[in-house]
Amino acid sequence: MKKKIIIANWKMKLSGPAAQELIREFIDIYQPTEKAEVVICPDYLNLPLISQAIKDTEIALGAQNCFWEKTGAFTGEISPKFLKEAGARYVIVGHSERRTYLGETNEMVNNKVKAALAEGLAPIVCVGETFEERQEGNKDFVIINQVNKAVADVKLNEGDELIIAYEPVWVIGSGQAVAPEEAEHTHRVIRQVLMDNFEIDVIDEKIRLIYGGSIEPANLKGFLTMPNIDGALVGGASLDPIAFNDLLKEVS
């Protein structure tokens, strides 16, 4: 069985002092376990602060986005190389909020995945359908297309890691997750797409599929008992140190 991974997506919710306070409170109560890997994804400015705060812990650092070039005249962008230097091991790519508000396309996501891997970062690729797409009966089609395009021409070499996070867009921040069985169905669809793109042992060794969307301590376990769900991407509940720690207790 793959090690479970719980990823905190702090979004643009915390100023520097608030982020420092949250990480301090969390580290105080957090008990590392063999069963769960923990990743914190603060905004860009808070990466060095959080990197410093977690340096003697088992917690890993992730960014919420990256650009696809290493360096150059790209005003306002951040290179995966700089993220690596700031201590990140993971990077979220293609979150639905970026697809919606910043016009991030599947092609951009694919470029970011390749650039992140080239720097030794593990991309956390977010995919998911909108409510309308679901109503129109296009959910699986949308997911298949997003995953296929995200991993097009991607090679996973020794030491590489890739995470696909299924996040139904309409569920994010709603307080109402989908049923674990439904997420499991979608994860099977994703696994099928991955089988068209990678050897089975590559999928088994290097790719984890996680669910995101209104995860809380009370519902996490239902997802983690599904055979194709390897963890969770958590927004709201990751901003409360006690709730986030309770989530991790559910894993162990």
Distance of alpha carbon 45 from alpha carbon 14, whole angstroms: 10
Q: Confirm whether 167 is a catalytic residue.
A: yes
Whose Cβ is closer to ligand PGA: residue 80's or residue 168's?
168
- For residue 230, CA distances in Å to 52, 90, 172, 187 come to 28, 16, 19, 10
Instruction: Tell whether residue 214 is a contact of ligand PGA (CB under 6 A).
Output: yes
Distance of alpha carbon 140 from alpha carbon 5, whole angstroms: 24
For ligand PGA, the binding residues in 111-170 under the rule CB under 6 A are: 167
Instruction: Tell whether residue 8 is a contact of ligand PGA (CB under 6 A).
Output: no
Inter-axis angle of helices 241-251 and 16-29, nearest 10: 40
Whose Cβ is closer to ligand PGA: residue 146's or residue 214's?
214
Instruction: Tell whether residue 194 is a contact of ligand PGA (CB under 6 A).
Output: no
Whose Cβ is closer to ligand PGA: residue 87's or residue 236's?
236
Query: Closest by alpha carbon to 9, among 251, 243, 178, 239?
Result: 239
Token digits for 10? 């702090």
Instruction: Tell whether residue 213 is a contact of ligand PGA (CB under 6 A).
Output: yes
Identity of the amino acid at 80: P
Instruction: Tell whether residue 5 is a contact of ligand PGA (CB under 6 A).
Output: no
Give min distance, CB of 137 to ligand PGA, in A: 24
Residue with the shortest CB distance to ligand PGA:
235
Give min distance, CB of 198 to ligand PGA, in A: 24
Residue 139 CB neighbour total at 10 angstroms: 19
Binding string, residues 233-252; x marks residues near ligand PGA by CB under 6 A? xxxx----------------
Which residues neighbour 101 within 8 Å (Cβ) at sequence distance 6 or greater?
A: none
Inter-axis angle of helices 241-251 and 217-224, nearest 10: 30
HSE-CB at 99 with a 13 A cutoff on CA atoms is 20
Find out whether 235 and 172 touch, Cβ atoms under 8 Å: yes
Question: Which residue is catalytic, options 37, 95, 97, 184?
Answer: 95
Token digits for 82? 């700089």
Give min distance, CB of 215 to ligand PGA, in A: 5
Give min distance, CB of 56 to ligand PGA, in A: 27
Q: Among 42, 123, 180, 212, which residue sits at the site for ligand PGA (rule: CB under 6 A)?
A: 212
Strand pairing category for 162-166 and 207-212: parallel
Give min distance, CB of 70 to ligand PGA, in A: 27
Question: Which residue is catalytic, options 37, 129, 167, 184?
Answer: 167
The footprint of ligand PGA (CB under 6 A) covers 9, 167, 172-173, 212-215, 233-236
The residues that are catalytic are: 95, 167
